């Protein structure tokens, strides 16, 4: 790490912090639901935990959309010049996490529509249909959705480990940025 990246820091505003933690909590809850809900087969109905998986997934997607718009209009303020390999790896990881947070729910949404389920938060208020009922490709996206969610979880694990490494080993202010 060079001198510039050591002295540089970034400040997230309170809305960005609130969105980061709300979405993180919902994503962890979403995995708990996904791992305990009944297996989805042809003819399975979206009730019980499967219903909650859809509701929480839609909430995540909507909050991520708000978060991205907010980041564009009110970006974090950087003090100093950020540079170096560590900074580039962090930027890449954050970019991939944003992409996964969008693509994973959209694939689940498309798969739900292909199963003839509507993606609704509550009766009459939901996402439009993006895939025809019974569409072969849409049905296959269910596996892609589950696999990509697992890839996202691994990246989240690396992200959390990096945060803890900064806090415990490097003893710098990285973790404080999101507090």
Min. distance of Cβ 8 from ligand HEM in angstroms?
A: 10
d(C-alpha 100, C-alpha 167), whole Å: 25
Q: Residue 38 corresponds to which tokens in the numbers above?
A: 């009944």
CA torsion angle for 64, 66, 71, 74 (degrees, to 10)? -160
Question: What is the total count of residues that contact ligand HEM (CB under 6 A)?
Answer: 42
Q: Of residues 22, 71, 102, 129, which one binds ligand HEM by CB under 6 A?
A: 71
Q: Identify residues 98-137 at the interface with ligand HEM (CB under 6 A).
A: 98, 101, 104-105, 108-109, 111-112, 119
Residue 146 binds ligand HEM (CB under 6 A):
yes
Min. distance of Cβ 4 from ligand HEM in angstroms?
A: 15
| CB contact set of 9 (below 8 Å; sequence gap of 6+) | 78, 79, 80, 173, 177
CA torsion angle for 103, 109, 110, 111 (degrees, to 10)? 110
Neighbours of 1 (CB within 10 A): 12
Residues in contact with ligand HEM by CB under 6 A are 10, 20, 24, 27, 30-31, 34-35, 40, 53-54, 57-58, 60-61, 71, 76, 90, 94, 97-98, 101, 104-105, 108-109, 111-112, 119, 142, 145-146, 149, 156, 159-160, 163-164, 174-175, 177-178
């Amino acid at each position: 790490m060079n001198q510039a990246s050591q002295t540089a820091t970034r400040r997230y505003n309170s809305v960005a912090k609130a969105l980061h933690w709300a979405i993180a909590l919902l994503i962890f809850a979403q995995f708990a639901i996904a791992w305990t809900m009944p297996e989805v087969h042809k003819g399975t109905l979206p009730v019980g935990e499967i219903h909650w998986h859809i509701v929480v997934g839609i909430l995540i997607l909507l909050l991520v959309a708000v978060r991205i718009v907010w980041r564009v209009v009110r970006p974090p303020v950087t003090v100093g010049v950020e540079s170096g390999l560590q900074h580039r790896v962090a930027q890449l990881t954050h970019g991939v996490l944003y992409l996964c947070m969008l693509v994973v729910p959209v694939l689940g949404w498309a798969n739900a529509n292909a199963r003839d389920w509507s993606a609704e938060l509550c009766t009459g208020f939901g996402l439009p249909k993006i895939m025809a009922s019974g569409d072969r490709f849409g049905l296959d996206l269910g596996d892609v959705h589950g696999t990509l969610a697992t890839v996202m979880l691994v990246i989240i694990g690396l992200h959390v480990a990096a945060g803890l490494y900064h806090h415990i080993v490097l003893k710098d202010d990285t973790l404080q940025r999101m507090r």
